[in-house]
């Protein structure tokens, strides 16, 4: 093999390298002859090759690795053989057993052929890939945060406008007989308002700033109760299968929002199976340990309840998966979807303290796994809905709302349900009304956030004058903004804008009946 590996024929220190010395190196050393046969491999090169030394020595590279002659590595090797100049490259190598590894390769011409120095950089490449993934996640999170702030900034003004649309359109429809031709036009106004309200809710859900009312619940009950509706939703050509763990633990979340999560994922699965298939919904408990969190650093160790929805549909490639939770991203035809379904799911799960993962391959369906923290508390009881006949009242209500148009239509709506209404645009006017009004004031309805004084302080001030008064808070702001003003929606009677006449009347009765 010439004197590069022989100490007998050279006095040059660089060339005086023994086989034994090379075997101590972590770098792989091998010599390939002009006939492409392996002439020498040190111990590290044998480890890198994942084959035994006796099989390689004397064999050609093509015999050891069929098809290698078509690779970039072989092209560099051939070039070094021909031009007798050094070359260097990085290469991901696929071994005969299917394993993969990254190597930095240096090709040096020697009298026998080419000397190849190989350095295993697999771990470095994995670290670089992880760093790149983390950077992508950070950029994605920043993008999501920007959209969330935009949605939150829009929410208040839009919700005030949508409240006006919802109340007026509903009240007009109540007045008109069923045969009136104008009803159709008003119905379109109402639907447009509902559509706008839905979009705002979805954007706030995505940005994790919608107002939630969490309660302790069992996911099995939600799935079982929704089963009949889900069957109608997916159609007859899709088989619905459920595996619900009878020992399932409890979670704390807003039941209506979790129902929305299930609904959106089921619709997504249905659309992925236009020719039919199977939709599987499964629940079970899981204990996540350190080994899991190492590959999913966002998730802390602990006890979780998993809700899994799997379909046998068309599946998704990696590029599509990287965008599915972004708002307005959709693979559907124009007019077939808003692109907010999965972003809403993402926001609700995150705001509920959970995590969501998707596993999918083109042609092999998709699996969505939702992890919600397990809680030890008992299941919360749901309130019995108030009947429509019980919505009528005769009590006196003090309405404090700084937006004149919202205040006017809200007061009109309350009077339609039989209430007496005192209107105030700010706290000083409210105090004046309390002092002037000699009879009882049964309920204070106050916007949470107003220019001079927030709803909490308004309530405290009015209670000092009328200790017996009940309170209903309303707001068009986001969950974050509401809570910054000391209002915890799950602990008080709270109504999110936009609202309809019936939803307003129901909340008023809730507050008065407390």
- Per residue in 414-442, pLDDT (tens digit) is 999 999 999 988 888 888 998 888 899 99
Q: What pLDDT score was predicted for residue 370? A: 92
pLDDT category of residue 461 using cuts at 50, 70 and 90: confident
Q: Which of 338, 337, 343 is nearest to 203 (CA)?
A: 343
Task: Give the β-pairing of 38-41 and 215-217.
Answer: unpaired
**pLDDT mean over 282-301:** 81
CATH class of 130-206: mainly alpha
CATH class of 13-120: alpha beta
> Where, residue-wise, is CATH 3.30.450.20 in the chain?
13-120
**pLDDT mean over 53-82:** 87
Architecture of domain 388-513: 3-Layer(aba) Sandwich (3.40)
pLDDT category of residue 9 using cuts at 50, 70 and 90: very low
Q: What pLDDT score was predicted for residue 332? A: 65
Q: What pLDDT score was predicted for residue 4? A: 46
**pLDDT mean over 215-228:** 88
Greater confidence (257 vs 221) lies with 221
pLDDT category of residue 495 using cuts at 50, 70 and 90: confident
> Where, residue-wise, is CATH 3.30.565.10 in the chain?
219-373
Greater confidence (371 vs 352) lies with 371
pLDDT category of residue 444 using cuts at 50, 70 and 90: very high
Q: What pLDDT score was predicted for residue 16? A: 44
Tell me, which fold does domain 219-373 have in CATH?
A: Heat Shock Protein 90 (3.30.565)
Q: What pLDDT score was predicted for residue 257? A: 82
Separation of alpha carbons 268 and 20, rounded Å: 63
Query: Where do the DSSP E strands lie in 78-191?
Result: 87-94, 100-110, 113-120
Separation of alpha carbons 324 and 328, rounded Å: 9
Q: What pLDDT score was predicted for residue 2? A: 43
Average pLDDT of the chain is 81
> Where, residue-wise, is CATH 3.40.50.2300 in the chain?
388-513
Tokens of 88: 């260097």
Task: Give the β-pairing of 302-311 and 277-288.
Answer: antiparallel
pLDDT category of residue 7 using cuts at 50, 70 and 90: very low
The answer to whether residues 152 and 478 touch, using CB atoms and an 8 Å cutoff, is: yes
């Amino acid at each position: 093999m010439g004197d590069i590996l022989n100490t007998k024929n050279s006095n040059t220190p660089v060339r005086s390298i023994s086989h034994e010395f090379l075997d101590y190196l972590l770098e792989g050393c091998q010599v390939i002859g002009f006939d492409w046969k392996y002439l020498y491999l040190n111990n590290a090169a044998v480890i890198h090759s994942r084959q035994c030394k006796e099989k390689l020595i004397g064999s050609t590279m093509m015999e050891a690795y069929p098809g290698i002659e078509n690779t970039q590595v072989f092209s560099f090797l051939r070039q070094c053989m021909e031009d007798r100049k050094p070359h260097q490259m990085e290469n991901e190598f696929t071994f005969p057993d299917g394993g993969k590894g990254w190597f930095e390769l240096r090709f040096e011409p020697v009298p026998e052929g080419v000397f190849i120095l190989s350095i295993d950089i697999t771990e470095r490449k994995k670290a670089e890939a992880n760093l790149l993934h983390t950077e992508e996640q950070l950029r994605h999170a920043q993008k999501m945060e920007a959209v969330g702030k935009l949605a939150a900034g829009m929410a208040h003004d839009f919700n005030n406008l949508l409240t006006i649309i919802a109340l007026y359109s509903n009240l007009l429809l109540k007045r008109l007989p069923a045969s009136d031709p104008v009803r159709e036009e008003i119905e379109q106004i109402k639907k447009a308002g509902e559509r706008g309200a839905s979009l705002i809710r979805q954007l706030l859900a995505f940005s994790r700033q919608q107002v939630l009312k969490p309660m302790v619940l069992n996911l099995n009950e939600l799935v079982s109760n929704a089963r009949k509706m889900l069957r109608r939703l997916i159609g007859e050509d899709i088989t619905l299968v459920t595996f619900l763990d009878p020992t399932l633990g409890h979670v704390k979340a807003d039941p209506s929002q979790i129902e929305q999560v299930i609904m959106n994922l089921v619709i997504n699965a249905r659309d992925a199976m236009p020719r039919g298939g199977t939709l599987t919904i499964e629940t079970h408990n899981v204990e996540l340990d350190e080994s899991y969190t190492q590959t999913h650093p966002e998730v802390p160790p602990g006890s979780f309840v998993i809700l899994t929805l799997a379909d046998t549909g068309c599946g998704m490639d990696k590029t599509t998966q990287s965008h599915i939770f972004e708002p307005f991203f959709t693979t559907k035809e124009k007019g077939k979807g808003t692109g907010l379904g999965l972003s809403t799911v993402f926001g609700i799960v995150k705001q509920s303290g959970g995590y969501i993962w998707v596993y999918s391959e083109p042609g092999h369906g998709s699996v969505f796994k939702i992890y919600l923290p397990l809680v030890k508390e008992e299941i919360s009881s749901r309130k019995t809905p108030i009947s429509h006949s019980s919505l009528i009242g005769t009590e006196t209500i003090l309405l404090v709302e700084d937006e004149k148009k919202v205040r006017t239509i809200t007061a009109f709506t309350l009077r339609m349900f039989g209430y007496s209404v005192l209107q105030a645009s700010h706290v000083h006017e409210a105090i004046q009304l309390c002092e002037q009004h000699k009879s009882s004031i049964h309920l204070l309805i106050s916007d949470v956030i107003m220019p001079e004084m927030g709803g909490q302080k308004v309530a405290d001030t009015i209670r000092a004058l009328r200790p017996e008064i009940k309170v209903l808070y309303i707001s068009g702001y986001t969950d974050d903004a509401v809570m910054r003003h000391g209002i915890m929606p799950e602990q008080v009677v709270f109504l999110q804008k936009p609202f309809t006449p019936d939803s307003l009347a129901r909340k008023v009765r809730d507050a008065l009946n407390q």
